[in-house]
Chain A
């Protein structure tokens, strides 16, 4: 099995999540990723992101995001550090960074300068809000981008007020777009620079509701009951049962009325009512579904091909045979020799999943080997 990106090397200046999740994907697809870290502090996510959860001596988040990479500690402000970067750039294929706009330029590592050192280089960067414009100096942090992008009005019910989603969506979605831009450039076989901002990524993520908004300028209404998507009518939602929760996706209210022997539902015979009257209909469903267990309802609804599922938490999901058969976990050994279990790449190619036993590196763990391999001397 040849990993598709075998033979490509990435020099990775990024830290925290947006850039490092992009380079993780490149690593999983076969690229060699050299993580360039601040010589003293290292990647900020070692100490400043998810730091309350320690795993093998670094934050658990750092361990999850940075497996399968090598670490070189460099003082970018020193002459030697700058010389090392130039040596490395000359021999790698891809450079990525997520510094604030202007930082790479000041260091002398902007795309134009690096292209002089390596005419084939593919250069990728992630910013919060674009390289220029009035917001370019704002901090490109996930929650702030969610808040500015309007996305906090999409989840939950109207009574919730702005509701951010509880993981770093803007970071990861921007990272994902960067991977696509970099890979497309590599397909062309030509040098190029690829830019993604977290805000643009979040706007793309909302292309469906934004396109509707551009037509009618109407505010988003999540509804009062069981909100699960502001644009989809009843029964779409998450419902409490006597034993837990279940979700119902799109489906016919009439068919549900028949299956649940509920005359109130049957009175909503016109499918055109299912969006404007979604709160009423979902309230009727909520009242009924609360009276018995999730399994009771699934036994009625699933055989009738109603789109439904039990709501699982991580514990029950991880124990489920449906999860186990996905073969998604792997155990890796990190820089200090300890092992931990984490997820693996969700892409299968030619029937194979890509796993790698290499955990996240210690800060500067690979300085000696990289100095030798790339002939990095002091200046």
Chain B
């Protein structure tokens, strides 16, 4: 398959998650992504080991985010190395970085300077909280951004403490915004020849992610996000929306008419909540009725009743049941990435299909500095 970003070169000064996740997506879509890494350690994510899992000396996490990239090692504090990197920038289409405010300026790699070297360059910057104001110097870390954004008050039941997302959601949505901005500016460059400076940050990314609820709340401060006391799954949605225990597992039920549900699960009292917005204003009571009935039978029993009736519901899977399911297998979502003898890992592929084809790539993350020799030659450094 001819990938749409073929021929474009991205220099990735970014480390950890947000910037490299954007780089990964650009690589998936055909761009050549060269990580610019400091000698000896490289991207700090190489040593961010979870569950003690490493491959070829690097964390499995690093491989997950940095597959399909090359690595050029350079000490940006060394004038000679810096000169080489500047020559690379001359020939690049995009650079990304997530250094703290001020660092690129000290290296002479700030946008104003770099623009004079390469006016067509797309220069993309990731920060935690923007470049001004009292949060400017706070660590740009995912859990901190979640906590400061208000996000932790949306999940769990009203009796729970606030609950963060158990995933680096601010990093991931910020990385997605970064990729989108870069692509949009590449389109503009195609038309106008103009480069661009892009800035994204964790906090506005995770706030944008809450735009629906925030819009409801800002225009009516009485509408504080309230989690339901039982089976909460969304502060602003009424019953039945939530996950319920069954005799042998769990059942997710999305939005739908309560009188229909009352009939299907044989719970007449529930039908009363279908009027005057009671399914929202008294959702805790309605959900308690649903929970009581659903607990009395198996997940399959309820699926067999609700699914044929077109009621929005599903089983609840963990990774075992998910990966064994026919629906998962049909996606063909996994692929193996390799690096010589020392890395052989299963991971996920790009979630985007182009012209009805899936995008696979078998190249694992690079050894630190493994592209120095050929890049030096190829780019005439």
Binding site for A on B (CB under 8 A): 4-6, 8, 25, 29-30, 50-53, 60-61, 63-65, 129-130, 132-135, 138-139, 141-144, 146-150, 152-156, 160-169, 172-173, 176-177, 179-181, 183-188, 190-192, 194, 196-201, 203-205, 207-221, 223-225, 227, 232-238, 241-243, 245, 250, 252-255, 277, 280-281, 312-320, 322-323, 325-328, 330-331, 333-334, 345-348, 350-356
Contact = CB atoms under 8 A, between A and B. Distances in A.
The SS class assigned to the B binding surface is: mixed
Contacts of A232: 50
Contact of A190 (B4, B234, B250, B345): B4
Interface size class for chain A? 35 or more
B147 A311 contact: yes
B156 A163 contact: yes
Given A52-B238, A184-B5, A343-B211, 5 more contacts: A161-B245, A163-B163, A167-B154, A211-B348, A219-B319
A90 to B, nearest CB: 21
A53 B212 CA distance: 11
B51 A184 contact: no
Interface of A: 2, 4-8, 17, 25, 29-30, 48-50, 52-53, 55, 60-61, 63-65, 129-135, 138-139, 141-144, 146-156, 160-169, 172-173, 176-181, 183-190, 192-197, 199-201, 203-220, 222, 227-232, 236, 238, 240, 245-247, 249-250, 275, 305, 307-315, 317-318, 320-326, 328-329, 340-343, 345-351
Nearest to A129: B327
Contacts of B203: 322-323, 326
A215 B144 contact: no
A348 B184 contact: no
18 contacts: A4-B185, A55-B219, A139-B312, A143-B252, A146-B252, A161-B245, A172-B173, A177-B176, A178-B352, A188-B4, A219-B319, A229-B166, A240-B161, A245-B152, A307-B144, A311-B147, A320-B134, A342-B218
Contact of A53 (B8, B52, B223, B325): B223
B163 A156 contact: yes
Contacts of B319: 150, 153, 209-210, 213, 219-220
A311 B164 CA distance: 10
Nearest to B231: A164
A193 B215 contact: no
B148 A312 contact: yes
A197 B314 contact: no
A133 B331 contact: yes
B313 A155 contact: no
